[in-house]
Structures are given as structure tokens and as C-alpha cells.
Structure 1
């Protein structure tokens, strides 16, 4: 017999996220409980299927196996809405960006309107949750950390120990530094596009890599996406449309980029991250493109970074052991 569940709260589906709009008191059929990330695949009485937050369902076996009289959690703010930062996974980051695949759970393609649920339903509370990239969100949404399960076997742990001034990050044994120099005007598409390219030389390899300002902007977006809720990421120097190839402007921008990179190199967490190391040490264009794809698909971003923090364990007395 099919597994049934009673909906505890109204849920408004986000367009394009393969979610299912449901109403409080509605009975749905559970399709898959092992989807993960705090979600369950369900089907309503109209045959429409999609994802519903696990905490919004009271699951029982069979038609009469679920009781509406059972206790259920309270919602302190029924009209709360948690908007997420919209992101188009199919948009191209650069001219040579050729990876447009989207990894997600696919439902049956029904739209939000077909669910027959609107925010004006008055008979029960409605809570709207935005999950931009299933099962983990790309934006700094706190519900992702609360609903999703931490990824196992991660090697990206962030140790914290108790210093003289309080809890501090674990610093690397060899401080990272880099030098930005030798800006050159380059072009592509037979001269249709021109840009300034900089040489960046880290002290770990003493081998320079080249980057455009657009690459710095990409790195900033990745760091903000990954560490935004956890660390303050300073902004890059502003973009400029006119006068980009003026010598004074190029020199001034290079000095500001140097200051930004020096600050990032000195941070014990950012400097050791995989995406930052890729930016400084990639060996060829193939490794750079593969690293960009991997960074774009990183699931350990935003609130999920809190699950990686490992505080120093306090010493226990013998009697406690």
C-alpha cells in the first residue's frame, strides 16, 4: 500500500526548482524519502509530483495511517519568507566557459500554477523556502544549513584553537604571499576584444600565472559564495568602462589588486582554500578550466561551511574521563 502523508503547513513551490505546492491538511503520496537534503518527493491527488520539505509532512502508512490529531511543531512567524539569491546555472561566465550542465532532481514538469496553491489561502500558515540549487543552495540561506545533512568524509575541515585573544583560526606554517606585476594589453577574437592581463607570482611556486580583471571578479564571486556567511570578503576595486587602457589607471588598478590579493593571502582560511590555490597555481589552460567547473559546482558553500568548523577540544580532568 502506498505511503501517505498529511501536510502540516502550506508550502509555495519555487518556479524551476521541481517543488510541489501543497496546502495544510492535504494528503499526498510519498514517492521517495531518500532524496536527501531535507526534502521528500511526493505526489498530490491531481497526479502532480515534486519536492516538499520533509518537516512539512506527517508520514503514516496507508490511507488511514496518519492522524491529524498528533502533535506537530509550531511556526513562530507564519508569514515568514526566506528569499534566496537567484542564480542562473546556465549563464556563461566567460567566452570560453562551455559547461552548462545542471545537476538536479527532475519532477514531471508541472508548473507552479498547476499546483492550485496561492499565498492567499487563509485556512493555514504558509512558509516559503527558496532552495536555488538542489540539494544545497548557492545563496547564504540559513535554512540550507538547518535542513541539509553535512557532507561526509570532507577533507576541508576548519580547525579553531583557543589563543591568547580568544578563538582563532589555525594559520599555515608557511605564510602565503604573491606579487602582481607586468600588466600587458592582450586581445582575442582577432582583436575584437581587448583586455589587460596581469602576472601573479606566488611565493609557494615562484612560477607566474596570468589573469584578467574578469578572473579576479570570478574569484571574488566564488569566495563570497563560499565564505560569505562565515568571513568578511573585501570588495574588488571598481570596474571602469572608459579609460581602461590608460597607463595611470592600469597602474592604480594593479596596486589595488595587489592590496586585495595580499589581504586574501594573509587570511588562514581563504589562502588555503582550493579555489584560491587554483587561482595562484594552475599549470595550464586545461587545469584552469577544469578547476573553474569544479568550483562552480562546489556544494560546501555558504551556511554549510559552519559544519566544517572544528573547535579545539577542552582538556578533561581524570575524574571526567
Structure 2
């Protein structure tokens, strides 16, 4: 337990808000605690420059005076980062000066009072909400049994402390037990049709992102876009900016990405960010992203996600929730400690490895296929809007030139042919215009869906890699047991942890597979139907112009 006067090392960088009396610190900086009782996951401390301010307690680790405290192994800052996972808050946006990152005036946007619209119409999305799994039990918040903790804080009194380089290895080795997660909700796994699944809540909800509005402050010197977010279970709307979504992504990634896919947000853009087409496209992408997150039973019920959706009463309520999320220690390997193991469904090591190999091959093949499809689709959509449009228009112009030449012959027997050829030329120009507009109806929506899944699948190499690291750590512990360096109980605990990790990863893959079937069915149904309508319209136009020649001599 940290106390006043302790010296701590920063595990992560922290970009503090000066007007909130917060320090800005880099990873590896040392701070002396001046007030350890601030509460809500915060310390007050003095940095190397003598500046005093607040910083998240979860971002720092007390530097011990010796390697042992009270007879147990002390956790070094490096080990603590292993336990929590390498998910330090991203600093990628530190230099961004676009509409969403030029200031840190959070409360100006978060303090807006919520409004309840009379009716909110959900924008079109490829996510099939009706496919949401139902359960007769709510998302579990009860304590679940966890693998037994070693009396010395981790397996063998820290035997693996210097060898656990990933969150999953730290979890399997028992080192994550040193992070206190006793007050955190348990993550519940179920076995459905022989497959491990996350437990789904019967209180399912989704969200609508709507009504983007341009706002400004500082007498119009600073502009930004706000979006209304309305969860359908309450109908109460809150207002958020892009940077708030980005903050949520950062926190979800830090907390869950060891075992759960947290896809990226749409890319930032500096130029053209206030154009109507860009604003609407971003709204649709943010809507799809937040709807996707609300479908995940673990993410949707998390405190940070609920805080993002529902915090609106006061500036203090938002700040308290924000600080609580940023100081959460149940992240990475420590998050795995909150998973209730399926002790009644044991899995052999060979079966876990076989399933891992199958999932790795599937996600790799899908990733490759999605990359090919999005590259080809983008190229074809470009051709539709450019070369194909011009080719049909050029064909129509050529027919028009022939008709203009024929128009000099004013004989009655020639006029019908001239008119028919002129009609054909106009028809081909219209077909060219149809190609120019058609990709908005078929290829672009298809590519939006494919790109969303590219983001989802891109997270799985890390997730599956953690699964493999956990299995490898289990093998290492079994080997140490054969060498007489650990007990059978240690091996049993490591095995149960590795099984829990494997089942959690399999549950995440199965969650993706469940929605993939419904999503891709809708993607392909919409695409092929639009293609049918498009080419039927072309056929109808060609049949109309062809009929003009039937009775000509």
C-alpha cells in the first residue's frame, strides 16, 4: 500500500490537464507521493521538476527499497506492466491539431444536459441486431471461483517473474494474483452446444449515433462536430465528440485487448472534416462501431462503456468516472483473473492447441480474403465512377455523332432511323451516369462491411498470440515440475488458468463467428439485390432502345 513519501515509477505516460491540477508524465518518470489519500484511484505527487499535481495511481508502481517486503516477492515496475499488459494509453494523438484534439476542455462538451428526442430513427447499418443471442440469465456480476492463489503471491514465490513477458504468461504463472481484482465483476463463460461462449445478458441494448452538429467556442476560433448517442434501452441522449470516442477506444483497448477484439475507429482527418459528405460518412462509421461494441456482452456491461454512454449529470460525475476508468488495474493479465473458470469442462492441452491452430488459420485466411476483396472492390468502385462511366458516355457520344450526321438527310424514311440512333446514344450516356452513381448502392456498403471486419480480424493475431503464450507457459511449468522445481498443485493451478485463457479466447472467436454469419448474409443479400436491380435497369433501357429498330426497314 502506497503512502506519503513513497517514490513511484510511472508504468505509462500520462498527459495531464494542467487546469485540473494534473501532472504530465512520461513512462519511467519518478514521482514522490505527497498525498496518497486523494481517493478514486488518484495520487498527488511531486515530479522531478518540483511540480505538484495529480496522477492515476494505477499508472505507477511504488519503487521498493529492497527485493522483498514482509517475506514476499516485491513487484517491480516492469513486472507490474507484464501483469496489466502492455496497454499504456496511446500518445499517438499528442501532436494532432485537428478539430478534436486541439484542446483538453472535456467538461465543455460533457457537461451538456441530455435531451430525449421524440423519436430516433436508427441509421442504416450492416449489423444485424436481431441476431443478438439471448440468455435466461443476466450478465453475471457474482463472484466466481478462480484458480487457487499461491501463498507467496504467484507461482513459486515469483519464480517466473523475470520470464513472463506477456499478460497471458503472467496470468498462467499466477503473477496476476498480485493485482487486487477482488472487487471487480466476474466475467462468466458458458458452454453452448459444446462451444465456450461469453454469457449474454437478457438486457441487450444497442445505440444510435445521430444528428451531427458543428459547434464552436472561443468566439468561433475553435470548431468541432458533436454527435448524439442514444441507447435504445433508455432513450436518453448524450452528446459526444470524436475525441471522446477516441478516449473510449483507448480505455477499452487497454482493458480488454488481451482476450477481446476492439476494432479501430474511422481514421482521423484534418482537411475537409466539415464537409457534409465526410460528416455523414463518419457518423455512419461511429454508429456502426458503437453498435458493434454494444453487442459484446463483456464490453457492453463494463463500467467504462456504461460511463461513456450514460454520464451526463454533472462535470464531477464525468471526471470521477473518467479517473476511475484510467486507474482501473483489472487490465491485461489481471483482467483474466476475473474470469470464472469452467472447471466442469476440462480441456486437454492437445485439444487446446488444435483449436488454437484452427482459429489461427481461419482468421489468417479471412484477413487475407478481406484484404483482397477490399482492394479489388475499391478499384472496381473507382472504375465505375471513372473509366466505365467515361466509356459508356463516349459510346453514347459516338452514336450521337452518327445521328447528327444522319440528321442532314430529311427524308421520311431516314428520320425514324436517325431518331432511334439518337435515342441509343442517349441511352448509353444514361447508362454511364448509372455506373457513376451505382457504387454508392452496392460496392460502397459492401466495402464498409468488409472494412469493419478487417478491423475486427486485425485484433486476433494479438489475442491468439496471447493464447499461445499461455499454453507455452503451461508447458514450461510442467517441465519445471518434472525437474522437481514446483509442486503438483502449482501445475494444476497453471493448467486451470491456461484452460480458462483458452476458453476465453475461444469464446471471443465464437462471438465473432456468430455475428459474422448474420452480418455477411446481410452484406451479400444487399449487394446481390442491388446488382440485380442495377443490371435489370440497364436491360430495360437497352430493350427500350432496341425496340425502336424492330419495325424499321
Q: Give the TM-score, by structure 2 length.
A: 0.35
When residues 97 and 32 of structure 1 are mapped into structure 2, their CA distance, relative to the original with a 3 A threshold, is farther
Cα displacement string for residues 105-132 of structure 1 (whole angstroms, at most 9, x for unaligned residues): xxxxxxxxxxxxxxxxxxxxxx5988xx
Q: Equivalents in 2 of 1:222, 1:276: separation in Å?
A: 9
Residue ranges of structure 2 left out of the alignment (5+ in a row): 1-27, 31-60, 95-100, 108-161, 346-553
Deviation string for 1:20-59 (max 9, x for gaps)? Answer: 8xxxxxxx9667337x8x526xxxxxxxxx97979xxxxx
Paired residue secondary structure (2:188): strand
- Between the aligned partners of 1:234 and 1:301, the Cα distance in structure 2 is 17
The 8 Å contact of residues 39 and 52 in structure 1, kept in 2 or not, is answered as: no
Structure-2 change in CA distance of 1:152 and 1:184 (3 Å): closer
The answer for the alignment partner of 2:202 in structure 1 is 173
Pairwise CA distance, 1:192:
2.4
Q: Aligned equivalents of 2:78 and 2:86: distance in 1?
A: 17
TM-superposition CA deviations, 1:192-225 (whole Å, max 9, x none): 2211000000012110000000000110111110
1:95, distance to aligned residue in structure 2 (A)? 1.3
Query: What residue number does 1:263 align with?
Result: 292
Structure with greater strand percent: 1
The answer on whether the counterparts of 1:209 and 1:280 sit within 8 Å (CA) in structure 2 is yes
Contact (CA 8 Å) 2:181, 2:330: kept in 1 or not?
A: no
**Inter-partner Cα distance in structure 1 for 2:221 and 2:201:** 44
2:319 is aligned with 1:289: yes
- Where does residue 236 of structure 1 map in the other structure? 265
Whether 1:303 aligns to 2:333 is: yes
Does structure 1 retain, via aligned residues, the 8 Å contact 2:229–2:237? yes
Q: Distance in 2 between matches of 1:171 and 1:302?
A: 22
1:201 equivalent in structure 2: 230
CA deviations over 1:111-160 (Å, ceiling 9, x no partner): xxxxxxxxxxxxxxxx5988xxxxxxxxx644654424252532411111
Max Rg structure: 2
Aligned to 1:184: 213
Residue in 2 that maps onto 1:24: none
2:119 corresponding residue in structure 1: none
**Separation in structure 2 between the aligned mates of residue 294 and residue 39 of structure 1, nearest angstrom:** 25
Further displaced range: 151-160 or 170-179: 151-160
Contact 2:255/2:335 (CA < 8 Å) preserved in 1? yes
The 10-residue stretch of structure 1 (294-303 or 284-293) with the greater mean CA deviation from structure 2: 284-293
* Contact kept in structure 2, 1:33 and 1:39, CA below 8 Å: no
Alignment TM-score, normalising by the size of structure 1: 0.59
Structure number with the higher helix fraction is 2
SS of 2:329's partner is: coil
The 1:306/1:201 distance shift into structure 2, 3 A limit, reads same
Query: CA, structure 1 residues 225+240, in 2 after alignment: closer, same or farther (shift >3 Å)?
Result: same
After TM superposition, give the deviation of residue 303 of structure 1 in Å: 1.5
Corresponding residue of 1:39: 74
Q: SS of 2:189's equivalent?
A: strand
Q: Contact 1:230 / 1:305 at 8 angstroms: preserved in 2?
A: no
> Against the structure 1 CA distance between its residues 199 and 53, is the aligned structure 2 distance closer, same or farther, given a 3 Å change threshold?
closer
Q: CA deviation at 1:190?
A: 3.2
Q: Distance in 2 between matches of 1:261 and 1:274?
A: 15
Unaligned 5+ segments in structure 1 are: 1-13, 21-27, 41-49, 55-82, 99-126, 131-139, 316-321
Gap change, CA 1:285 and 1:245, over 3 Å in 2: farther
Aligned equivalents of 1:86, 1:281: Cα separation in 2: 25
Deviation at 1:293, TM superposition (A): 0.9
C-alpha separation between the residues in 1 aligned to 2:78 and 2:223?
48
Cα contact 1:205–1:281 (8 A) shared by 2? no
Structure 2 residue aligned with 1:212, among 241, 252, 269? 241
Partner Cα separation in structure 2 for residue 51 and residue 236 of structure 1: 31
Contact 1:243 1:249 in 2 (8 A): yes
The 1:222/1:86 distance shift into structure 2, 3 A limit, reads: closer
Tell me, what secondary structure is at the counterpart of 1:185?
A: strand
